[in-house]
């Protein structure tokens, strides 16, 4: 059974940094992808960053240049380094994973596994 557990959330002042972690178990990553999504009250869910099996990363325009995604393959852990945080970054952050591509692309968020989320608050 695939399980994703997020950690690293918290409260920081604007301009500060946080690093989120997602520990995956029971997950086959060879042909899949992983990513971070976030949702704030009253807003749609937003794709923050995605990494594919080759290590290629994609970022939302709203976080480009401030956030960095990386993968620890040996420990099956996904990281999101968040720098120069802004109040508008406040949201619940979710880790997601898909074991296979669909039609040549990452099928997230439509198909995949999800963690319970970790809250990030910037003030």
pLDDT tens figures, 30-76:
778 999 999 999 999 999 999 988 889 999 999 999 999 998 866 58
Residue 112 clears pLDDT 80, i.e. is over it? yes
Q: How confident is the model at residue 86 (pLDDT cuts 50, 70, 90)?
A: very high
- Give the whole-angstrom CA distance, residue 38 versus residue 94: 6
The yes-or-no verdict on residue 7 having pLDDT over 80 is yes
Round to whole Å and give the CA distance between 8 and 42. Answer: 23
């Amino acid at each position: 059974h695939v399980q994703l557990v997020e950690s690293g959330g918290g409260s920081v002042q604007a301009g500060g940094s946080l690093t989120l972690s997602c520990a995956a178990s029971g997950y086959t990553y060879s042909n899949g992808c992983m990513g971070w999504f976030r949702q704030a009250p009253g807003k749609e869910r937003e794709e923050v960053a995605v990494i594919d099996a080759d290590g290629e990363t994609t970022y939302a325009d709203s976080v480009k240049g401030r956030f960095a995604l990386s993968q620890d393959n040996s420990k099956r852990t996904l990281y999101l380094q968040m720098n120069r945080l802004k109040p508008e970054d406040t949201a619940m952050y979710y880790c997601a994973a898909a074991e296979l591509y669909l039609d040549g692309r990452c099928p997230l968020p439509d198909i995949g596994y999800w963690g319970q989320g970790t809250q990030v608050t910037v003030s």
